[in-house]
Each structure stands twice: as C-alpha cells, then as structure tokens.
C-alpha cells in the first residue's frame, strides 16, 4: 500500500537536454525532505515530450538514486497499448516498484476497452496504478470499471485526478480499503483522505516536500490541527501552480528555490510574468523562499 505524499517529479532541462546533475540532486533532496515516494516520467515530468530513450534513462536513473529508500512509481502509460506494454515492461526491468499508467488519451476507448487495456498490463507482473485524469485524456474510467480491474492481482490502486470527492468513498465501498487510492489533485488532497483515500501524487511537493509530507503524516497520526495548518499554508501554492499549464509554473517555482531552471519543452512555454508573481506570493506565504531570492525580485 502506497501512502502519503508522493512527488510527481519534474524533469529538469538545460539547453533542450535533460539536466542530469540537477535531476540527481533533486531526487536526493526529495528523499532528504521526507517525501514518501516519487513518480518519474509522469505528466509533471513532461512525459509527452520525452523520447523513448530519455524516458527509459530517467526511470533507470531514478531507481538507482533512490536505491529502495522510498518507492519509485514509474510513469509508463500511452494511448497505444503496445507502447504501454513496452514502457511498463522496461520500467519493471529497470527496478521500478510499480507503474503509473494513464487512461489512453485521444482514442476515447469504451469502458470495456479500458478494461482490456489494463488487463494486458496486469499480465506483465509489475504492480499497476490506474491514472484517471479526464481533463487531459478526455476518457473517464468509471468506478465500476475500476472495481472490475481491482479483482486482478496486479492492479493495485488508482490515481484519481477528477477532483470529485464522492468517488473515493464510493470506490471504497466497491473494493474495500486494501485498494490503494491516491489523489491526483493537491487542492483537494485532504478532503480525499477524509473520503477514504491513502495519499496524493503531488505537484506541489516538488517545491514543498517537507510540508506536504508533514500534512500526510499528521493525518495518519490523527493530528488534525497540524494537518489543517499544513493544508492552509499550502493552499495558495496549490492554486498558483495551476494558473498556467503545468508543469511550467512548478518549474518556475523550483527555479526560485535554486533546484533547476524553469525551462520547459514546446509546446509548453515558461511561466508568464503574471503567473510568476502569483507563484512568488504563494512561495513566500508558505515560507519557502529565502530572503536572498525575495531581494532579487526587487
């Protein structure tokens, strides 16, 4: 069972290429800050613009750096079932603990098509977490289809990015509490926990890993006061990081913390001036920027 704050890792770039030095440092920093797991090559990692070779190298490098200290859940989805099989098999061979597989985008498969897609991936042997994000993939997997898939031995959980807080409770009634439910939406993560969820695959934890981890640990301990303090401190950041298309905002935020450049790959663009101002305010509200960084902004 995967629980707590799991970071959907950004992929640092420098002059169009992966900045491996920054990546290595970033993963190590995440562990030092208390993150409970990492997801390389997810949406936040700009997986749509990574070459197949880059994708494989990132997952392999992440596994090597983490060295089993926390779980590595590799992004390995595709709208081609054959390609999803290939990426998921490679993730397993590279030592990932589990695979995060997005519902096939653009194709708009039926619920039976979704079931068949994941049934094939189940047979690979690595634990698979369904990634349901209708806002990006258009198709929405129903809780009834999730429940069918939960009967398969290697379909172990779901990342729910619908922001519908009725769904985790309904799904819990259908499949029980042993099926891992992870929020894919930072702003409603605490509500998701209250409705039967176990954790969150987070964008905000790229730049606030300690706070995000503390929030989840407080919930697990029943320390509601601390959880609420973390929630309220993080709230402006959750909103700011989606003022423009992710991960441009979170990459700017990371650049303000000296973690990497704010470079993204086309068709994404770096955060605009208005977006940067919102992020600066949210970082300062959460106490994440140094005085030096604030002074540099004038």
Task: Render pLDDT for 220-276 as a digit per residue (tens, 0 to 9).
Answer: 999 999 999 999 999 999 999 999 999 999 999 999 999 999 999 999 999 999 999
Q: Around Cβ 112, how many Cβ atoms within 10 Å?
A: 10
pLDDT < 50: residue spans in the chain: 292, 295
Domain extents in the chain: 4-221
Asked if residue 16 lies in contact with residue 51, where contact means CB atoms within 8 angstroms, the answer is no
**Closest Cα to residue 44, out of 268, 246, 254, 188?**
246
| Calpha distance 150→178 (Å, rounded) | 10
Residue 296: per-residue pLDDT: 52
| Calpha distance 222→227 (Å, rounded) | 9
Residue 149: per-residue pLDDT: 98
- Please pick, among 2, 115, 118, 131, the residue that the annotation labels catalytic: 131
Task: Render pLDDT for 180-205 as a digit per residue (tens, 0 to 9).
Answer: 999 999 999 999 999 999 999 999 99
Is 131 a catalytic site residue?
A: yes
Q: Among 3.40.140.10, 3.90.1150.10, 3.40.630.30, 3.20.20.70, what is the CATH number of 4-221?
A: 3.20.20.70
Pairing type for strands 17-18 and 37-39 reads: unpaired
- Please pick, among 159, 221, 239, 251, the residue that the annotation labels catalytic: 159
Is 159 a catalytic site residue?
A: yes
């Amino acid at each position: 069972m995967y629980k707590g704050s799991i970071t959907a890792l950004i992929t640092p770039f420098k002059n169009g290429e992966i900045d491996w030095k920054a990546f290595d440092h970033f993963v190590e920093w995440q562990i030092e800050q208390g993150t409970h797991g990492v997801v390389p090559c997810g949406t936040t990692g700009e997986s749509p613009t990574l070459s197949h070779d880059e994708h494989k190298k990132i997952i392999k490098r992440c596994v090597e750096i983490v060295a089993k200290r926390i779980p590595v859940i590799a992004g390995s989805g595709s709208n081609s079932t054959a390609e999803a099989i290939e990426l998921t098999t490679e993730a397993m061979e590279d030592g990932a603990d589990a695979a995060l597989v997005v519902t096939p985008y653009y194709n708009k498969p039926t619920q039976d098509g979704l079931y068949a897609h994941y049934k094939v991936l189940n047979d690979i042997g690595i634990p698979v977490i369904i990634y349901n994000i209708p806002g990006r993939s258009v198709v929405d997997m129903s809780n009834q289809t999730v429940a069918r898939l939960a009967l398969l031995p290697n379909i172990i959980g779901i990342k729910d990015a619908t922001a519908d807080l009725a769904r985790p409770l309904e799904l819990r009634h259908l499949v029980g509490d042993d099926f891992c439910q992870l929020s894919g939406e930072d702003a409603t993560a605490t509500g998701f926990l209250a409705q039967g969820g176990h954790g969150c695959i987070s964008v905000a934890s790229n730049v606030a890993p300690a706070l995000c981890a503390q929030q989840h640990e407080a919930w697990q301990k029943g320390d509601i006061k601390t959880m609420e303090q973390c929630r309220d401190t993080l709230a402006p950041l959750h909103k700011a990081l989606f003022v423009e298309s992710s991960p441009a905002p979170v990459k700017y935020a990371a650049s303000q913390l000296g973690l990497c450049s704010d470079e993204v790959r086309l068709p994404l663009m770096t955060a605009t001036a208005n977006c940067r101002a919102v992020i600066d305010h949210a970082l300062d509200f959460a106490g994440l920027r140094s005085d030096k960084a604030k002074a540099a902004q004038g």
